[in-house]
Structures are given as C-alpha cells and as structure tokens.
Structure 1
C-alpha cells in the first residue's frame, strides 16, 4: 500500500511544523529544504481549511499535494492574496479509480499554476507544468516532484 498522506511546499520564517499543526495538519514528518527558504514537508492528513490557514499565518504562497495510495495526487495551491488553483496528478490512474476528471480541467490548472508561480516570484516552465498535469508515473510523488521543478521552485528536482 502506498502513501496516502501529502506534502506541503512553502516558505516559512517561523517554526513551520508548529504552524502546520496549528493549521490542522497531522503526522508531520521531517522537512526537506530546497533553496531560497523553500521547504517540502510530508504529512499524514490535512483539515479542510489547513492550506488557507497556513498561508494566512505564514504570509507566503504554498502548494499542497494530497496523495491517494501513491496513485493519484490532488493539488491545492494558494497565495496570500487569495489566488488559488487545483489540479490532479496521474490522470490515467485517477480515471481507473473513477475520479471525475472533469472536476480537474487541465487548462485552468496550467493557468493557475503559472499565475501562482509568478506571484511566488518564481519562473515556471509552462510546458513542464502541462506535462506533469497530463503525464503518468508509477507513483504520483514522482509527478509531484516534477511539478515543483516545473513551477520554478529553486532546488526542486
């Protein structure tokens, strides 16, 4: 059985794990530093408003991917000014689980990802973003890592 938790990518000048707990995330694991203050932290579960609470408290953009058995990734991203977008990773696998793909249209997700990245002061790669949102992988975590790099997060591979 694969990962059914998630990962959160953000910047934080405070104690990120404490801020995550206060925002309703549980099962918080070690944080992996990227570059320029960006960090990726795995977690077991998130509450319904965890991302918005965390972005409010940190004042920085964040992207959260919740995994379903390592097969599918549900993306939520938000900036402090309220710009948000949602997406889906591993669409072929999602379809096999009968997840309604029409709830996760690709073009609005690509546009939202590019706007989120620009607001975060990053330089995204539009074609790479599109590839992660339409591609397939054995594990959704692989696509999540590729998405972070496509969004232009420094140090993401």
Structure 2
C-alpha cells in the first residue's frame, strides 16, 4: 500500500470506521492514531472515531488488534479525502475523494486509479460482511462536493455501512 502521508501533512484529521465490540479508543491510540475522539456507533458492532493524525502502519496495527476490517478517510482541509482500507487477511485498497480538487492541489490522480479501487473496495466490503452498492461506490470515487466529508459519507453508504451523518 502506498503511503498517503505526503499529501496529508497539515491535514484536518480524519475518520475511522471499524467493527469492534470492545472499547475502541485504546486500540486506536495503541495503533498510532492521535487526538482520538470517543467513538460513535452508527450500527451495532460498528464504531466511528475521528482522529488528528495516524502513522504509516496505524491501519495495519489497528486491524491486527481488532481482527476486523477497517476503513479510514484522512482529510486535506476538507477539500480532499484519502481513503485507506485494510482487512485482517491482508486485503488493502486506497482511493481519492474529490478528484477535481485533488488535481488542483497537484496530487497525481494516476496514483489513485478509480477502476481498481472500485474492484478492491467491493472485495473489501465482501470480506467485511457488507453488501456494497457498486454504482454508489463509483459515484463516491468520481464525484465532486464542496466538502470531502460529504463524499466520505457517500463512500461509507456505498460500502454497505449505515449513513454516519
């Protein structure tokens, strides 16, 4: 998995969604996430936490600790979202939200091709026991919005997670 930290320097934090019945905050902090806010539970067994920063292995360490798939979106000033998802079996994928704005920032779009991301996201959702919506997924990964958080919410719904808003 490519590191997205180059572009997220100075970001506005991010949002992490993971299935966990245990207290998530301690696991998230142990995995290297900073300034973790208390988790919300939009659905039974799923928790969403906001954070300030994460380390290069934070997602892998978190998934190892929880034994459950996780997806995060790191935001660059609410303009762009960098998606990273991991499964316990080692499945990973990355994507970019708000591509037109990302291009304005000089982020190379070819590092985040859409079609492979859709295919990998569908496999991730299946491994997570979710029922994804491929059309919504494509819309989230190619759409534009005033705030990347809007596309992040759409992405989570497209993956089969409940609407976090």
TM-score (norm 2): 0.91
Q: Report the Cα offset of residue 14 of structure 1.
A: 1.9
RMSD over aligned Cα atoms: 1.3
> What SS does structure 1 have at the residue aligned with 2:43?
coil
> What SS does structure 2 have at the residue aligned with 1:30?
coil
Do the aligned partners of residues 18 and 72 (structure 1) sit closer, same or farther apart at CA in structure 2, a change above 3 Å counting? same
Q: After the TM superposition, which parts of structure 1 deviate over 3 Å for at least 4 consecutive aligned residues?
A: 154-157
Which of residues 12, 15, 23 in structure 1 aligns to 2:20? 12
Matched with 1:94 is 102
Q: Report the Cα offset of residue 156 of structure 1.
A: 4.1
**Native 8 Å contact 2:19 2:69 kept in 1:** yes
In the alignment, structure 1 residue 62 sits paired with structure 2 residue 70: yes
CA deviation profile, 1:99-126 (whole Å, cap 9, x unmatched): 0000000001000110000110000000
CA deviation profile, 1:93-149 (whole Å, cap 9, x unmatched): 000000000000000100011000011000000000000000000000110011000
Flag structure 2 segments of 5+ consecutive residues without an equivalent: 1-10
**Native 8 Å contact 1:91 1:101 kept in 2:** yes
TM-score (norm 1): 0.96
Alpha-carbon separation, structure 2, partners of 1:15 and 1:156: 19
CA deviation profile, 1:3-41 (whole Å, cap 9, x unmatched): 610000001122200000100000111322111211111
Residues matched between the structures, number: 156
